[in-house]
Amino acid sequence: MTRLIKKSNDFGAGGVSVAIGELTDGLDIYLDRVTTKYEGLNATELAISESQERMSVVVEAKDMEEFMDYCHQENIEVRHVADVTDSGRMRMFRDGKIVADLSREFIDSAGAPHFATARITAAESPAGVNPFHSEESDSLLSGRLRDFNICNQQGLAEMFDSSIGATTVLMPFGGKTARTKTQVSVQKIPVGNHFTNFASMMSWGFDPFLTEWSPYHGAAYAVVDAVAKAVAAGADFRRMRFSYQEYFERMHSPESWGKPLSALLGTLRMQKELGLASIGGKDSMSGTFGKISVPPTLIAFGMAPVDAREVISPEFKKAGHRLYMVPAARRANLMPDTEALTAIFDALHREIAAGRVVAAFALGMGGVNEALVKMAIGNETGAEVTVPAGTAWDKEYGGFLIEAAADIDIPGAVEIGKTIDKKAITVNGESVSLERLNEELASGYATVFPDRARAEGEAPDAACCEPGPDYPGEPVEHPLVYLPVFPGTNCDYDMAGAFEAAGARTRTGVFRNLTAEDISASCREMAADIDDCHILAISGGFSAADEPDGSGKFIANVLLNAEVRAAVERLLARGGLIIGICNGFQALVKSGLLPFGRIGELTPDSPTLFRNNINRHISLIANTRVGTVRSPWLRSFSPGQLHAIPMSHGEGKFTAGPELLETLLRNGQIAFQYAGPDGHATMESPWNPNGSSWAIEGIVSPDGRILGKMGHSERYREGLMKNVPGDKNQGIFANAVNYFRKTEKTK
């Protein structure tokens, strides 16, 4: 399908006039063909309305029918809205009449030549004030850890899905407590069911206070900060490229024009001196409302290709290691000393590759103290250090705090202390417990974006050792897995990859719902695919946008269709298996397949999956314990066995009455439970991330052939989530394949 597309554009600001108008020189655009959400729009509104969910594409006229057929197969709404011409003009039509007719030459000129005068003012500080020096005392309890620019924004960060795509090398927060904030995003390149260690790393840099003082210096240090963060995680800075996000006040004077010009000159100087290039960017010059304007903003985003095996994370690894500080390299004019920085970056990269540096943190707004606390809390490994008095909070962009397992050779590196087997940090003789420091670090955002929720009730450990059923048919070496893809499904690639890696064959089928005829045809096709398969796998996502009133209802209603329902019953009758993860689990529960094993078997006392206690989406790694082996899906496990599983959901709280909970426990249907640090089922947040009754993460049907769970076991591949400990390779997919192969149970 993609080979048919010659060019594409997104419907951002400017709507049709930009998304289509930029595609080529000559265009005839038919506004009345454009799909709209609202009736009654006039020609101007149709031409300029923003619609971020849509794309415009150019295909050859001879390929249009084929392209539209592909769109229909993928349940994508598509319209022919414009023709490419050789007129060199952009013409817009409404009801057969021309409403706009502009030459490309005129459009490209923006109407007329534009000129502006820019005046770059000198960077000045009050006499004797160093913009990099903090007047705070060296105390870890000075209040700086609560600063919004320094505090752990965990409650906010967890609202974004960090493990989708089964490519995440470093989770946003690492260590056994999942509290050490990573400074980079590292994602493996998606290769389907194949394997690679090739990954892409992204970092960023920006200090609004430096940029407000001097856009030139601030932009330069934004580049340096982005580079330092990538180097601290193992990247070779010489392979980096940049993209900039700029946001400035509305331009109204030479001085206002001088701010973005100054910032761009700062980035250009860093690029030339470091030998790096920028490959893109986005700007806005409208950051003014009334008398309020944004501070001069230029955020540097740095990207570099990396080998996932060479990536390190910032949490302290072991007590007894040496701690080194590498101060920032600055010239007398307070600009970065790029010659010295280049030597530091290269040396640190070599030491990481050699395995002598096991953790590193790029120093930033909170200096050494910020780095110490964030590196320590992840694995609850303390530190004792001595630094020059009055410098512990100084900004050191381009500098590092390094944990080394052996002697290192890095220009400017000074040994300042060591890691210790104690849950405390001592700086210049003052010692503070990690528990107290974690409270400080978490408190900044906690009132708006809490990272923990209330805990209610108790959770007994489930432990059923009875074996599950065997496959009644002939052995099947490569069972077929059918994965229906509903509107909003976004985990089907991950699920298919997990099954294929275990030895299964997969088939996906897109459920189309744009017309009544599409729905009927999709139900027939789905029933036929279920009849062909050995395993029905319902993936996660946001079916029908999870609205209104909760998730999974669309899929549940499809399962209740007579043809689909009959096919599901035939699948179970011949010993087939069903799995639903996240959104799929929600659908299995709302259809009655779980916990009862029969579609439509719902009562007022049926369980449900409700909104998380924390009242937001959560994305994190949770430890789960095995509660039963009475299922083909769980045949290789032992009760109490622990796994570390990615979670990503807003409505994952399994809720059931006490009588049903007792029945599930007695029947061996509690598959997995959220576990605390002691390995036992827990109701405590964040270990139980949603407040599920009896800490239930997943359940099975009475015969064990249907499994539903919230955790995304399908998102693990070798080399992923390496900054969080635990067994992340949960073998449910291999267990299902071995059930059909009739092989001996494997560990």
* pLDDT tens sequence across 159-186: 999 999 999 999 999 999 999 999 999 9
- Answer for the pair 721, 312: CB distance below 8 angstroms, yes or no: no
pLDDT value at residue 747: 44
C-alpha distances in angstroms, 225 versus 75, 154, 259, 500? 44, 21, 20, 41
Query: Active-site residue 39, yes or no?
Result: no
Least confident of 33-37, 213-217, 486-490, 514-518: 33-37
- Per the structure block, which two tokens stand in for 77? 């709404």
Q: What's the rounded Cα separation, in Å, for the pair 479 and 471?
A: 12
DSSP states of 288-330 as a string? Answer: EETTEEPPPEEEEEEEEEEEGGG---SS---TT-EEEEE---B
pLDDT in tens, 478-526: 999 999 999 999 999 999 999 999 999 999 999 999 999 999 999 999 9
Give the position of tokens 């023709």.
Answer: 83
Q: Is the pLDDT of residue 746 over 50?
A: no
- Predicted local confidence at residue 108, as pLDDT: 87
- pLDDT for residue 285 is more than 80: no
As beta bridge partners, residue 304 has 201
> Which of 173 and 52 is assigned the larger pLDDT?
173
Distance separating alpha carbons of residues 561 and 114, to the nearest angstrom: 63
At residue 744 the predicted structure's pLDDT band, cuts being 50, 70 and 90, is low
Annotation says 569 is catalytic: no
In the predicted model, is pLDDT for residue 126 greater than 80?
Answer: no
As a whole number of Å, the CA-based R_g of the chain is 29
Range picked from 189-198, 273-282, 475-484 for highest mean pLDDT? 475-484
Instruction: Give the mean pLDDT of the chain.
Output: 94
Residue 127 pLDDT > 70, yes or no? no
| pLDDT tens, position by position, 619-644 | 999 999 999 999 999 999 999 999 99
Of 217, 321, 643, 712, which is the active-site residue? 712
Cα-Cα-Cα-Cα torsion 174, 179, 180, 181, nearest 10 degrees, comes to: 90
Of 408, 256, 248, the closest CA to residue 322 belongs to 408
Q: Read off the pLDDT band of 745 (50, 70, 90).
A: low
Higher pLDDT, 152 or 706: 706
Predicted local confidence at residue 446, as pLDDT: 86
Least confident among 18-32, 49-63, 252-266, 448-462: 49-63
Q: What percent of the chain has pLDDT over 70?
A: 98
CA atoms within 13 Å, Cβ hemisphere of 310: 21
* Residue 357: C-alpha distances to residues 238, 257, 312, 721 (Å): 19, 44, 9, 20
Q: What is the pLDDT of residues 535-548, one digit of tens each?
A: 999 999 987 766 65
The catalytically annotated residue of 534, 582, 649, 697 is 582
Residues 6+ apart with CB under 8 A from 173: 152, 154, 157, 179, 180, 181, 182, 378, 620
Q: Would you state the structure tokens that stand for residue 72, as one six-digit string?
A: 């229909």
Instruction: Provide the token pair at 562.
Output: 């007579």
Token pair recorded at residue 663 = 């029945």
The whole-number pLDDT of residue 54 equals 86
**pTM for the full predicted model:** 0.94
Question: Is 718 annotated in the active site?
Answer: no
Q: How far apart are CA 299 and CA 302, in angstroms?
A: 10
Mean pLDDT, residues 250-279 taken together: 95
Contact 418, 320 (CB under 8 A): yes
